[in-house]
Structures are given as C-alpha cells and as structure tokens.
C-alpha cells in the first residue's frame, strides 16, 4: 500500500513518478530539503508524520529511487521494491535515455515495468504472510482436548 513512487536525478529532474493517492503534503520535498540537500548520505529513510519515505541511490548514475507510504502499514517489501526498481531501471530504461547537449530528450516509460515489479513484491509479501502459522492455544491441541475431556468427566 504505497502512496507514491518516484525516480529523480540528483539534479532534481523527475524521470518517473506514480501517485496512488493525494498526499496531505509533499513528503518527498521535505526529505530533499532536510536530508538529501544536507548530504546525509548514510540515511535511507525519514519519518514525517504520517508518512515514511524510503529511498535508494544509484550514485554511479546520479539517480534516487524513492517510495512514500503511511508508516502505520509497516510494509516489509519496500527495500526489495526499491532494489528491484533500481536494477530494472538501470538495466532496461537508463540505457535508452537520449541526452543531447546535457539535456534529457527522451525518457522511455517505466510505468508498465514498475507495475509489474510492484505486483511481484506484493505477491511475495502475501505468500509470506500465508506461510506464517498462527499459534494455536493449548486447548485446541490434542493434549489440550484430552485434558478438557478429563475435566468434563470429573465434574
């Protein structure tokens, strides 16, 4: 349940964005001003009530990949999503970008590829959640049922 995804250059040119809802304020702009401009390179996430902003950089290309989501959801697949976005964009889209006189002329669409990546990450999380077993209480086990039967016979 991400709210916003974005790929932009360290110079501030947005190459891709996808908004899933209207944000209350521009969380990404806040992160850029408070973290990225101040060159806090060791950080990769920032909490701005109620949003969590997480990002990954590709220093060799001068790109930043960012995801904004509501912190309450605690999405476990965000790191995987960012890594997959970075790798797929770097391998399949970046080589096709046309640059003339230091200006970006043509940036191929990342929309379909991003949708596919997001779907893979969400499916993987759903499968992992299904695999997690819910612990039963003692009285729903075989031994617990026998004890309950014995208690019933004693009464």
pLDDT in tens, 92-138: 999 999 988 878 888 899 999 999 999 998 888 777 666 656 666 77
pLDDT for residue 41: 60
- Rounded CA-CA distance 148/1 in Å is 43
Residue pair 4/23 in contact (Cβ under 8 Å)? The answer is yes
pTM: 0.76
Residue 95, preceding peptide bond in cis (omega within 30° of 0):
no
Q: How confident is the model at residue 28 (pLDDT cuts 50, 70, 90)?
A: confident
E strands in 1-154? 2-9, 14-19, 45-48, 51-58, 63-70, 98-100, 103-106
pLDDT for residue 116: 95
3-state secondary structure the chain: CEEEEEEEECCCCEEEEEECCCCCCCHHHHHHHHHHCCCCCCCCEEEECCEEEEEEEECCCCEEEEEEEEHHHCCCCHHHHHHHHHHHHHHHHHHHCEEECCEEEECCCCHHHHHHHHHHHHHHHHHHHHHCCCCCCHHHCHHHHHHHHHHHHHC
């Amino acid at each position: 349940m991400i709210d916003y995804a974005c790929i932009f250059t360290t110079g501030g040119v947005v190459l891709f964005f996808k908004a899933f809802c209207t944000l209350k304020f521009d969380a990404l702009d806040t992160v850029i001003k408070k973290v990225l401009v101040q060159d806090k390179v060791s950080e990769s996430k920032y909490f701005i009530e109620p949003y969590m902003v997480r990002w990954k950089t590709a220093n060799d290309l001068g790109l930043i990949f960012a995801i904004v989501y509501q912190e309450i959801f605690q999405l476990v697949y965000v790191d995987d999503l960012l890594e997959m976005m970075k790798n797929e964009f770097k391998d399949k889209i970046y080589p096709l970008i046309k640059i003339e006189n230091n200006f970006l002329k043509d940036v191929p669409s990342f929309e379909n590829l991003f949708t596919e990546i997001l779907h893979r990450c969400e499916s993987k999380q759903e499968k992992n959640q299904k695999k997690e077993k819910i612990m039963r209480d003692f009285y729903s086990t075989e031994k617990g049922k026998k004890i309950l039967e014995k208690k019933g016979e004693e009464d």
